[in-house]
Structure 1
Amino acid sequence: MAKQDLRIKTRDGVAKAGLFRSAKTSPTKSGVILYQDAFGPRPALDGMAERLAGEGYAVLVPDLFYRNAPYGPFDAKTAFTEENSKAALMALVTGTTQQMTISDGEAFLDALAGEGVRGLIGTVGYCMGGARALNAAAAYPDRIRAAASFHGGNLASDAADSPHRKAASIKARIYVGMAGVDRSFPPEQSTRLAEALRNAEVDHAIENYVGMAHGWCVPDHSVYDQAGAERHWQRLITLFAETLG
């Protein structure tokens, strides 16, 4: 497995990113953009990108917080329980708006193309990255074929940048895996998202992972659940196999 360190020029600066490919990844293979959770790029996300790259995709993991670099690192198990790190994290999350990440998406897609990735593109996001993966699909419908969110928050909130408001622009197949109990994505939002996607005739599935807590997919998270994480991998790999080839 090879990791290539990239520096991607965006409208607002330069974002660091990791590009992961396996020996069996062909030059024209499909690509995936992995949108981080609140703790930023780190070894745990690298490991997830490597596993996805093992399926034959070129996987890009960009630093969404690059405008505020340097920052961290953060311990995913304790960062939200310590006041200083919690305040720093919240400043990064709230200071990196959906519109910023949507704008960055064009540079991320172009970076994949510049590295010879000519196939179809998928997105996947965790926690704060979930909404960004869906918003990317809405913003770049002719380039993104599949988008997945796992324990993504505020996917159908009252905010103007909530992904459900952009359902009519989505051409990708959508998969949403939600934690059994998640204050950031309560049942009323799930219902609202399902209605928006159905009305827009978007091919989608929304699945409730009963007993899982917000963050269950990411191995360095305090609520990581191995069985639930494996289920998430099965769904994600199937989604990309069926849509990206």
Structure 2
Amino acid sequence: MPIETLQVPTPDGRADAFAAFPDHGERYPGVLMYSDGFGIRPVLREMALELAGHGYYVLVPNLFYRHGPAPVIDLPGHIGEEARPAVFAQLMPLIEAHTCERVLSDADAYLRFLSTRREVAAGPVAVTGYCIGGLLAMRTAAAHPGRVAAVAAFHGPVSADGPDLYSRITAQVHLGHAEGDVTPEALAELNQALDAAGVRYTSEIYPGTIHGFTMSDTDTFSASGLKHHWDRLLHLLDRMADH
């Protein structure tokens, strides 16, 4: 299965990115995948290839392309407790510079790019994201209700923008929360806000997980959490593809 290295035109330049998709010469539903704050690295390629193997065209952009091509900072092969403070010290300025205005400008560019690819089927797309990418996925779905039919966010700060965000989302939503991130009370409050906004969603705490549980190159990884994530994500995307 090929991985294609790409340059996505944006109003601020070109975002380096990659796409994974089946090599059958057909057209596949498009999925925009936002990385976590650590950015593009081998584990993201593994995840994109896994998803592509289920019949999707998966586009993974470098969120921080304005600061240089990925990897924007040097990352250890395994991101453990000792490495984390130094890594975050370099990453936080990039994350803070990635304003909502920039997020939405980039989202326009990424979705436009998907619509031009000959390997991508006509029709709506899905957006998925991890950690900060989960919030970006929700913002993208809210900004493009006619284009995004499914959105998933895993261990993401999805309530950071408040309930106004939810009222603009028409996509089917799945939110997979780390047990270490969300209390049952906070989950109930979030789900109540989603209900009030009329969002079609599933939103649950993944048992025994802490923030970052999907990423196998970190010390927060949970194999059972990752499997649960694939079960939920593929179910969501299959429903989109069937419509």
- TM-score when normalising by structure 2: 0.91
Task: Work out which of the residue numbers 212, 236, 241 in structure 1 matches 2:238.
Answer: 241
Match of 2:73 in 1: 72
Q: Does 1:55 align with 2:88?
A: no
SS at match of 1:229: helix
More moved, 139-148 vs 215-224? 215-224
Whole-Å Cα distance in 1 between the matches of residues 113 and 61 of structure 2? Answer: 10
**Percent identity (aligned):** 35
* More off after superposition, 93-102 vs 199-208: 93-102
Give the Cα separation in 2 of the matches to 1:12 and 1:138. 22
Gap change, CA 1:217 and 1:200, over 3 Å in 2: same
SS at 1:231's partner residue? helix
Letter in 1 for 2:53: G
1:129 aligns with 2:133: yes
Q: Deviations over 1:199-237 (max 9, x none)?
A: 121100111112101111111121111122111101100
Does residue 219 in structure 1 map to residue 216 in structure 2?
yes
How is 1:112-127 mapped onto 2 (pairs within 5 angstroms)?
Answer: 112-116=114-118, 117=120, 118-127=122-131
Whether the 8 Å contact between 1:134 and 1:163 is mirrored in structure 2 is no
- 1:14 and 1:67 mapped to 2: Cα distance? 8
Aligned-partner SS, 2:209: strand
Distance 1:56 1:80, change over 3 A: farther
Aligned residue in 1 for 2:163: 164
One-letter amino acid matched to 2:33? L
Residue 203 (structure 1) aligned with residue 200 (structure 2): yes
| Secondary structure in 2 matching 1:212 | coil
Residue type at the aligned position of 1:74: L
Q: Give RMSD over aligned pairs.
A: 1.8
Q: Distance in 1 between matches of 2:231 and 2:36?
A: 20
Q: Residue 8 of structure 1 aligns with which residue? A: 8
Shift of 1:86: 2.2
Distance 2:151 2:162 in 1: 12
Match of 1:87 among 86, 89, 97: 89
The alignment's TM-score, normalised by the length of structure 1, stands at 0.90
Is the partner of 2:208 in helix, strand or coil? strand
**Conserved? CA contact 1:24–1:56, under 8 Å:** no
Partners of 2:25 and 2:103 lie apart in 1 by 27
CA contact (8 A) 2:124 2:146 kept: no
Deviates more, 1:18-27 or 1:106-115: 18-27
Paired residues of 1:80 and 1:86 also in contact (CA < 8 A):
no
Q: Is the 8 A contact 1:165 1:196 kept in 2?
A: no
Per-residue deviation at 1:61? 0.1
How many pairs align? Answer: 237
TM-superposed deviation, 1:95: 1.4
Structure 1: where are the runs of 5+ without partners? none
**Aligned partner letter, 2:6:** L
Q: 1:65 to 1:188 in 2, by over 3 A?
A: farther
Q: CA deviation at 1:74?
A: 1.7
After the TM superposition, which of the residue ranges 76-85 and 170-179 deviates more from structure 2?
76-85
SS of the aligned residue for 1:176 comes to strand
**C-alpha separation between the residues in 1 aligned to 2:190 and 2:13?**
33
Cα distance in 1 for partners of 2:180, 2:86 equals 26
Residues 176-213 of structure 1, C-alpha deviations (whole Å, 9 max, x = no match): 0000111xx55555334322221121100111112101
